[in-house]
Amino acid sequence: MKFGFGAGQVEVTDDGAVAAVTHPVRGCSVLLEDGVLHDSTRYWGKGFAITDRGSYRWDTPVSQRWRSSGIDLLYQLGDLELRVGRRFGEQWTETYEVRNSSAEAVAVGSLAVSTPWRDLYESSRDSLNRAVHAHVWTGGADSWVWAVPMDGSGPGLGMQLTEGELWAYSVESRDGGSSSNSRGHIYLHVTDHARAPQAMGGQPELVLAPGETYRWTWQLAWHDSLADFHATRQPLLEATDLVAEVGETLAVQLADGATGPASVSSAVAGTQYVEATDGKVSSRIQVLFHQPLRELVESRVRFVLDKQRPVERDGSRRFSFVPYDNETGLTVLSAAWRDWSDGRERIGTALLLQEARDRGWGDRAELDAALAGYSAFVVEHLVSADGTVADDSLRETSTRLYNFPWFARFFLGQGDSDRAIQIIDRYYELGGDHFLAFDLGPLLLALSKQAPRMLEHLERHARSFIEYGDNLPPHEVNYEQSMVAPLLELLVAAHRVGFVSPDELSSRLPWLTSFAADQPDVRLRHIPIRHWDGYWFGLLRLWGDVFPHYWSVLSAAVYLSWPRDLLPRGEADRLTAAGQAILRANLVNFSADGSATCAFVYPSSVNGRPAHLADPLANDQDWALVYALRYGLT
């Protein structure tokens, strides 16, 4: 059956689950469609429970009652009865009530509902026209989801909890088959204590006495913008700023009748959870206190010089930088796994050393020696005489265009602009004007002072991607934040020299901003969605949302370099604040002793395995510090 839902409609299947949700502006469902990645077993409203009396998934109800405004369903989960009521109209309301029908207490360790948002990347055009970004916040009573079209247009679908608490979300169906182009199936949890008791500030165990019930309700509605959605909410607590240096104080805003701290501070670096309650339900947010940036950078530089160089190798290879396992204390060998090689993104560590050296931070003589050794390694083993950049010093690999601007930037920092120009020329000889490598716009402008033909590269490259429109060529992922951010970075540079009109630039900004929302968690606020980096770059090889992933700084680079005359003052200020927040949030992945993690996998569980943890591998996250310094983090 189809039910009206505001200006749109909801399609409910014979077994009472939700198969599709559409709005006439788009005409396509915001939920996944049946196919290779999705089927009826994961339709909206189905789910699972893990208890001390057995574990169950629910699918076909034992009874159902259709009404003109919706449907009521009953599921039997061992000793538990689950009643679900769906009501449609201007708003869509769902109530879930689980009852212990046995004569003994039942401990519920996990209780989850499937919400299969169409958050996937079949192509850039399909993503921008038919897919949504699902921004999730499970912070107790204040939980919400904002599903926004990937092109940033309205309306979006907002879901807010109006009764009960949600404390986690997990992800299923993430593996090599779905790979990087699907975010997977998102499940919202009353608790996920059974699998990840530590997740998201701690997961409660729900114990139901005989005859006792637990009930939660959420409400959905269409909204033109995230701000319009938030205007309908009344959170127990929130905070304007989520990051501060140690010793500083962060203010917390509490709702009328809520009790909790009005401010929070810390003398030690790390994250903290802040909680509030109205006596019936509770909510929490997460904040970060970090070392002063210079201290953090110098400790990180000390760490990599001592532990992340393969000093056992011969010749200049001993000056390279490689991944490091914080649990074993060993460097990690790449073999055939290119994302652990001594090339590629590892050059970010060398660029961090340059940034520290240029500021007079650390030991200048030691940094000069390390960078000279690294330069010799690159010339001998990674960059050929014609400017081609290799992936790995130990084996032949295919050419990867992402590498070229990074190594050109390194040589520019070493004062060798000729070699930097040669690398960029080679990048374009290999078809680079149809590829979105990082840092190209600013780099081309910098190199044009020595080689005016760099502006020819810039104009041709920008024109190529203006002509692509929304049909961008696929990269290592079909569509992602680290395609859109480099695209805008390139177009911003082209706009500065008159190659791109304001409209061509501004019309694409919502493509980037829609990747993030403003959840009250330092790991999430303004941080663009990335959900595969833990697998490719980490040691645990976990799929699932990585928050924050260091390449979120690419969005910050765009926001902080955006032409202010193209935005109203208030919007320009918000963009600047978002850029700074992204840079500061990424400091969460560095510890006081200089150790680091390349990926924090955020969901409570992925494919049933515990998550919400930092991968033990320090790999390529130093780019976050490079950009923090490059863009003047304050």
- Residue 529 DSSP symbol: P
Residues 163 and 249 in one domain: no
- Per-residue pLDDT, 324: 98
- Asked if residue 370 belongs to a domain, the reply is no
| Tens digit of each residue's pLDDT (9 = 90 or more) over 142-151 | 999 999 999 9
Residues 246 and 259 in one domain: yes
Taking the C-alpha atoms of residue 284 and residue 271, their distance in angstroms, rounded to an integer, is: 13
| Tens digit of each residue's pLDDT (9 = 90 or more) over 560-609 | 999 999 999 899 999 999 999 999 999 999 999 999 999 999 999 999 99
pTM above 0.75, yes or no: yes
Residues 250 and 219 in one domain: no
Single residue among 237, 257, 272 that ends a domain in this structure: 237
pLDDT-derived band at 532 (thresholds 50, 70, 90) equals: very high
Residues 6+ apart with CB under 8 A from 491: 441, 462, 465, 466, 500, 504, 505, 508
| Tens digit of each residue's pLDDT (9 = 90 or more) over 413-437 | 999 999 999 999 999 999 999 999 9
Single residue among 203, 218, 237 that ends a domain in this structure: 237
- Per-residue pLDDT, 561: 97
Taking the C-alpha atoms of residue 544 and residue 169, their distance in angstroms, rounded to an integer, is: 11
| Tens digit of each residue's pLDDT (9 = 90 or more) over 64-74 | 999 999 999 99
Overall average pLDDT of the 346-354 stretch: 98
Residues 181 and 227 in one domain: yes
Beta bridge partners of 546: 601
Residues 243 and 162 in one domain: no
8 A C-beta contact, residue 322 and residue 374: no
Tokens (6 digits) for 121:
């990347």
Residues 44 and 137 in one domain: yes
% residues pLDDT > 90 (the chain): 97
| Tens digit of each residue's pLDDT (9 = 90 or more) over 78-87 | 999 999 999 9
- Per-residue pLDDT, 557: 98
Taking the C-alpha atoms of residue 434 and residue 472, their distance in angstroms, rounded to an integer, is: 9
Omega of the bond prior to 528 within 30 degrees of 0, cis? no
Residues 244 and 185 in one domain: no
Of 469, 461, 526, give the one whose Cα is nearest residue 493.
461
Check pLDDT > 90 for residue 398.
Answer: no
| Tens digit of each residue's pLDDT (9 = 90 or more) over 183-225 | 999 999 999 999 999 999 999 999 999 999 999 999 999 999 9
The 10 Å CB-count burial string (b at 16+, else e) for 517-549 is bbbbbbbbbbbbbbbbbbbbbbbbebbbbbbbb
Number of compact structural domains in the chain: 3
- Asked if residue 503 belongs to a domain, the reply is no
| Tens digit of each residue's pLDDT (9 = 90 or more) over 279-315 | 999 999 999 999 999 999 999 999 999 999 999 999 9
Residues 243 and 220 in one domain: no
Residues 20 and 117 in one domain: yes
- Asked if residue 479 belongs to a domain, the reply is no
pLDDT-derived band at 170 (thresholds 50, 70, 90) equals: very high
Single residue among 290, 314, 331 that ends a domain in this structure: 290
% residues pLDDT > 70 (the chain): 100
Find the domain containing 211 and state its range: 2-237
Q: What is the mean pLDDT of the chain?
A: 97
Of 557, 560, 576, give the one whose Cα is nearest residue 623.
557
Taking the C-alpha atoms of residue 259 and residue 551, their distance in angstroms, rounded to an integer, is: 37
- Per-residue pLDDT, 176: 82
pLDDT-derived band at 633 (thresholds 50, 70, 90) equals: confident
Residues 222 and 247 in one domain: no
Residues 111 and 177 in one domain: yes
Residues 149 and 280 in one domain: no
